[in-house]
Structure 1
Amino acid sequence: MGNALRFLCEKCFRPRTSEGGHGIDALGRDLFHFENTGQVPEGLSQHVEASKKTQATWYTKILVAWKEDPANNAEEAAILIVKTLQKHHKVNVEGLLAFYGLPDPAAIVQAPEEFPQKRPEGVKYELHTLPVAPKAVADGDTITVYVDTKNPRESAEVPISVQKATIQRREARARGDYARADAIQKQITDAEYRVFDASRNGEDILARKYRIRLRGVDTPESKMPYGKEAKEALLNLVEGKCLRILAYEKDRYGRTVADVYSGDVFVQEFLLRNGWGWHYTDYDKRPQLSQ
C-alpha cells in the first residue's frame, strides 16, 4: 500500500514551482489544483498583466473547456487556451502560453484542423485515470485503472454507502484504529472503489475502479507463448501514466471495452503494429486495425 501511494504522489501530484514551464503536464496539474482550491499558480503574475481575480476567470473557463475536450499534447493545449480566451487581451494569452512553455498561437492557427481529434463514433463517455500501477496490467489486453471521483461524471454516481464508509474510515484512522480502517477499506474495495491516502495536497482520493478491455485487439494469455512479452509491452506503455480512455460498451465479463491512449500513443494500434496481438473483431470492425 505504501509503495502504491508514493507512486501516485510522485507521478501526478507533484507540487508546482513558481517558474512555470513544463508544458501540458503542468497545465493539467494547475487546473486540478485550481478546481480543488480556487488558487491560480504562483509566478503567473510575472508573465501577465491581469489581476489574480482575472486569472481565476481564465482558469475557470479553461477548466470547463478542458473537461469537455481534454488536450493530449502541447499543441492541443495551446489551441484550447487561445480559443477559450479569444476575447481577452492577446498579450495576456501569450503570457499564459509562455508561462507553460506552450507553442506560439500564431504558429498553431495555421493548422487548426489537426487539433483536437474528434471522438470516434460509438464512444459513450471518456475517462481520465490516475497513474497506472505496475500490478494493474493483467495481460496484454486488460488493464485495471482508477478514476478520481472528483470528476463530475463520477461524483454523481458514488453510492451513499461508499461515501459514508469513506468518512468512517477517515475517522477511524484519525483516532488510530487502523484495524477498523482496513476493514472499512475492504468494504469500499468490494464496492469497486478505493481510497488512496494523502495523495492530493495531503487529502485522500476516493477513486472508482474500472477493468478495461482494449477494443479491437486480442493478445496471448499470460501463460501462453508470448503472453508474458505481450503483457510487458502493454505495461511499458501505460505504467505510471495517466491514461485517456474512450469507453464503448461492456463485454460479457463486465469489463469496459475501450480505446486507450497513453500520451499521444494509441495503445491498440501500437500493440498490433509491433506484433503483440491480432485484430479482435467481436467489438471492433475498424479496417485500420485489421491491416
Structure 2
Amino acid sequence: MGNILRCFTGGDNHGDDHYRPHYHPTSEPGIILHSGWGSPPRFQPDHHQLGPHGGVASLVQDLFNFESTSMVPEALRNNVTSSKKAQVKWYRNILEAYKNCSPPPKTAAEAARLVAAALSRIQRADLEGFLAFYNLLIPSFSSASTSSDYQPSSLPEGIQFVLNTLPVHNKCIGDGDGFTAYVDTADPRESANVPLEVHEMVIERTQARIDRDYQTADALLRSLNEAGYKIITILGEEILAKKYRIRMRGIDAPELKMASGKESRNALVKLIGVKRVTIYVYGQDQFGRYVGDIYCDNVFIQVKHELCSHNLWFYGFNYDVINVCLDSGVFQEQMLKSGHVWLFKTYDKRPEFAQWEREARAACRGLFASENPEKPWDWRRDQRNANIPVY
C-alpha cells in the first residue's frame, strides 16, 4: 500500500532502508566494448561521459553488479527519495528489461526509454532523479505518457486524448472489439482529475487496514469501485487506477452468443491480454464507452506465457511480473486481417480497413471461412426487434 500513500504524502517507507546494502562503483564511466550477457563487459574509459557516474556504460555495469550482489549504488540516494528496498526493485525491473531488449540500448536516449518503461510505476520525481544520476536524457512525457514508451510526435486529427493503460487483464476483455482498461492515477493526465473524495476514501481505507477494520476497508473499496476507481496491486505495490470502458474504433465483432463470437474474443485476448496498450480516444459512444484506436509499441519486456498463470494479482490476481507488448501498430488491423471482426462501415471509412477485410475474405480467414457469416449489426437488430436488450 506504500505506493498509494506516497501519491498523497510524497513519502516512502524509509523503515526499509537497510533492506539491501549499497555498493560503491569501482570502475570509471566508459563505453562497452563487449555486450554479451554471458560474461561481464569490458570497459574503456570515455572522458566524454558527463558527471562522476554517467552514461549507458555505467548503467550497464551497475546492472551487472546488481545481478551478482543485489546491491545498488550508494550515491543514488542523493537523487531519489524512495527507500533502498524500492531501489532494489527498480534495478531488478531494469535488469529484466535489459536482458529482454534486443538489441541492447546503445545511446542515452535508448537507455532512458528502457528505464522509463521499466520504472513506469514509480514517482515522476524519482524517475527523473534516477535518469539524472546516469546523465541520461529525460523522455519528454506528454500529458498522458508515463505508462507507455509509445507516443508519436503528432497525433492524427480528431483525437481528444491519449490513454496509456496498465496491463489489460483477460477477464476485462468482453468480446472481439471491446474491453475495460485501467489507467494509473499517477499519470499526469489522471492525477489532476482525481476527486478529493476518492483521495479521502483511499486514505481512510489504508488507515482501516492498519487498524484491522477490514469491514470498513472493504466497504470503502466498494465505494471506490462505484466511483470508477480500483486499487490494483502490481509488483507488490498498490496502485490507484481509473476505469475506462473501451470500444475499438472502426470494427464490429460477433457478439459472444453468435457463431465465431468466442473465437473473436479469444483472438483479442491473445493480442492484448496482460499487456499495456495505448489508446487514441476519439470520443464516446451512446453507451458511454470510449471509442479509439488501440496501439502497442513497447519492445523492452516479454514475460513467458507460463508465468502469467502463477502468482498474479490483478482484479483478483497478483502480478509479480508485467508483460509489456512486443507487437506494434493498430490492433484493429490484426483483428481485421485475421478475419475475426467486420469493418464497421457505418462509422469508419478508412480505405486500409476495407482492404484488410477484403484480404481476410479472399483468404477465407476466421469468420469468413463460413459461406455467409451473419453480420453483428443484423443480429443485434433482430434481438432488439424481439425486445432483447443488447449493446
Q: Same fold (TM over 0.5)?
A: yes
Q: Is the 8 A contact 2:116 2:127 kept in 1?
A: no
- Over the aligned positions, Cα root-mean-square deviation in angstroms equals 2.7
Which secondary structure does the structure 2 equivalent of 1:16 belong to?
Answer: helix
Is 1:166 aligned to residue 199 of structure 2?
no
Which secondary structure does the structure 1 equivalent of 2:91 belong to?
Answer: coil
- Give the fraction of aligned pairs with identical amino acids, expressed as a percent: 36
Letter in 2 for 1:30: L
- State the match for 1:257 in structure 2: 291
Which secondary structure does the structure 1 equivalent of 2:231 belong to?
Answer: strand
Cα-to-partner distance string for 1:75-134 (whole Å, 9 max, x where unaligned) = x9xxxxxxxxxxxxxxxxxxxxxxxxxxxxxxxxxxxxxxx4642221111110000111
Instruction: Classify 1:188/1:36 alpha carbon distance in 2 versus 1 (closer, same or farther; 3 Å).
Output: farther
- State the match for 2:124 in structure 1: 35
Report the alpha carbon displacement of residue 156 of structure 1 after superposing the two structures with TM.
1.2
Q: Is the 8 A contact 1:237 1:262 kept in 2?
A: no
Cα-to-partner distance string for 1:137-160 (whole Å, 9 max, x where unaligned) = 001110100000111111111112
Mapping of residues 39-50 of structure 1, within 5 Å = none
- State the match for 1:16 in structure 2: 91
Picking from 226, 231, 236, the partner of 2:260 is: 226
Structure 2: gaps of 5 or more residues: 1-88, 102-112, 298-327, 356-391
Is 1:181 aligned to residue 220 of structure 2?
no
**Larger deviation: 128-137 or 259-268?**
259-268
Which secondary structure does the structure 2 equivalent of 1:33 belong to?
Answer: coil
> What CA distance in whole angstroms lies between the structure 1 residues aligned with 2:114 and 2:346?
35
Cα-to-partner distance string for 1:229-264 (whole Å, 9 max, x where unaligned) = 000000100111010110000000000001001331
Q: Is the 8 A contact 2:244 2:289 kept in 1?
A: yes
Mapping of residues 93-132 of structure 1, within 5 Å = 116=152, 118-132=154-168
> What CA distance in whole angstroms lies between the structure 2 residues aligned with 1:260 and 1:183?
34
**Larger deviation: 20-29 or 235-244?**
20-29
Instruction: Classify 1:275/1:135 alpha carbon distance in 2 versus 1 (closer, same or farther; 3 Å).
Output: same
Report the alpha carbon displacement of residue 36 of structure 1 after superposing the two structures with TM.
5.2
Instruction: Classify 1:170/1:137 alpha carbon distance in 2 versus 1 (closer, same or farther; 3 Å).
Output: same
> What CA distance in whole angstroms lies between the structure 2 residues aligned with 1:66 and 1:155?
10
> What CA distance in whole angstroms lies between the structure 2 residues aligned with 1:249 and 1:145?
16
Q: What TM-score results when the alignment is normalised by the length of structure 2? A: 0.52
Q: Is the 8 A contact 1:31 1:63 kept in 2?
A: no
Which secondary structure does the structure 1 equivalent of 2:181 belong to?
Answer: strand
Q: What TM-score results when the alignment is normalised by the length of structure 1? A: 0.68
Q: Is the 8 A contact 1:30 1:40 kept in 2?
A: no
Is 1:287 aligned to residue 334 of structure 2?
no
**Larger deviation: 171-180 or 210-219?**
171-180
Picking from 232, 250, 264, the partner of 1:196 is: 232
Instruction: Classify 1:67/1:142 alpha carbon distance in 2 versus 1 (closer, same or farther; 3 Å).
Output: closer
Letter in 1 for 2:206: R
Which secondary structure does the structure 2 equivalent of 1:64 belong to?
Answer: coil
What is the number of equivalent residue pairs in this alignment? 222
- State the match for 2:61 in structure 1: none
Q: Which has the higher contact order (CA 8 A, sep 6+)?
A: 1
Which secondary structure does the structure 1 equivalent of 2:353 belong to?
Answer: helix
Instruction: Classify 1:67/1:276 alpha carbon distance in 2 versus 1 (closer, same or farther; 3 Å).
Output: same
Give the number of the structure whose alpha-carbon radius of gyration is greater. 2
Report the alpha carbon displacement of residue 66 of structure 1 after superposing the two structures with TM.
9.4
Instruction: Classify 1:35/1:129 alpha carbon distance in 2 versus 1 (closer, same or farther; 3 Å).
Output: same
Instruction: Classify 1:36/1:280 alpha carbon distance in 2 versus 1 (closer, same or farther; 3 Å).
Output: same
Picking from 334, 337, 346, the partner of 1:270 is: 334
Report the alpha carbon displacement of residue 29 of structure 1 after superposing the two structures with TM.
2.0
Picking from 215, 238, 248, the partner of 2:282 is: 248
Q: Is the 8 A contact 1:145 1:212 kept in 2?
A: yes
> What CA distance in whole angstroms lies between the structure 2 residues aligned with 1:232 and 1:131?
17
Report the alpha carbon displacement of residue 39 of structure 1 after superposing the two structures with TM.
6.7
Cα-to-partner distance string for 1:158-180 (whole Å, 9 max, x where unaligned) = 11221111111111111111221
Cα-to-partner distance string for 1:53-75 (whole Å, 9 max, x where unaligned) = x73xx45x325369669643xxx
> What CA distance in whole angstroms lies between the structure 2 residues aligned with 1:271 and 1:117?
26
Greater fraction of residues in helix: 1
Q: Is the 8 A contact 1:34 1:40 kept in 2?
A: no
Report the alpha carbon displacement of residue 38 of structure 1 after superposing the two structures with TM.
4.8
